[in-house]
Structure 1
Amino acid sequence: MEFQREPGRIYAEEEGRVIAEVTFPDRDGAADIDHTFVDDTLRGQGVAGQLLRAAADQIRAEGKRAGATCSYAEIWFERHPEEADLLCP
């Protein structure tokens, strides 16, 4: 799946509608991963994990730290302790 990227957002569209998305707006100099969405037709295919990986890579490339207020993002970071250095203390 090919994702579109813009500041604070990575997403995929199909026929003009968003089918997958993660948002991470800047809040006080850190990215807050606050929303992850995957359309029902894509569930169980690892798309949410791909979105979080892309977001983590983009946040890291921008030299920022991240917070995870989205419940899926919290779980993703728990499952990927190698990314813990990205999280704000």
Structure 2
Amino acid sequence: MPTRPGIIIPAVLFASWADKGLALVVMGGLCPKKSGRVKTTVGVRAGRNVAEVTTSTLAAGFILTDEKDSSRYTLTRDGQLVSVLDYRDDGHTIALTRAFTIPTFRGHGYAAVVVEGAVAEIEARGDRKVDAVCWYVADWFEAHPEHASLLRSR
């Protein structure tokens, strides 16, 4: 489908407000012509509050990052975004709203890794309850009843 230069077609279905332009990185690989308007690499955002980012290294080269300014946990491996867990924190409860794995990395249990890392961090802090809004997170808690005490009672 031909388009005018500068128009971005929303072809990446997994993009959300929390992706902060990462969908354009994926789309950049789909665009035959390179343009200054289409990002092809993830750059450092100007003005990012580095103090608001918590990083932990997991086994097998994975890095779990709590991006507080974006309200999400990210799982990266070798510098590539693998999985994301969006959340909302109201000061008492953390609502885990969406677990998502980039399509090329699906089927390897990476969503479970990011959920497990986030739950471990929340549990270690000990000052919040969890509201499992996302169906995947709810299923994860059913499969791991040892963490059920962390869930908010309704």
State the TM bucket, normalised to the shorter chain: 0.7 to 0.9
Q: How far off is 1:6 after superposition?
A: 2.4
Q: How far off is 1:3 after superposition?
A: 2.2
Q: In 2, distance between residues paired with 1:12 and 1:73?
A: 15
Amino acid at match of 1:44: G
- Give per-residue Cα distances to partners, 1:8-64, cap 9 Å, x unaligned: 4211357x8743100222136100010111011111111011011011011112221
Which has the larger share of strand? 1
Worse-superposed segment, 26-35 or 78-87: 26-35
Question: What does residue 63 of structure 2 align with?
Answer: 2
Give the CA RMSD over aligned residues: 2.1
- How many residues end up aligned between the 2 structures? 89
Does residue 49 of the first structure (1) align with residue 112 of the second (2)? yes
Does residue 74 of the first structure (1) align with residue 138 of the second (2)? yes
SS in 2 for 1:41: helix
Gaps of 5+ in 1: none
| Equivalent residue for 2:149, pick from 82, 85, 88 | 85
TM value normalised by structure 2: 0.51
Q: What pairs with 1:13-52 in structure 2 (closer than 5 Å)?
A: 13=76, 18-27=81-90, 29-52=92-115
Gaps of 5+ in 2: 1-61
Q: In 1, distance between residues paired with 2:147 and 2:139?
A: 12
The structure that has the greater radius of gyration is 2
Amino acid at match of 1:72: Y
Q: How far off is 1:4 after superposition?
A: 2.1
Q: In 2, distance between residues paired with 1:69 and 1:84?
A: 14
Q: In 2, distance between residues paired with 1:19 and 1:39?
A: 6
Amino acid at match of 1:59: I
The runs of 4+ residues in structure 1 deviating greater than 4 Å are: none
SS in 2 for 1:50: helix
Q: In 1, distance between residues paired with 2:122 and 2:131?
A: 11
Q: Is the 8 A contact 2:72 2:86 kept in 1?
A: yes
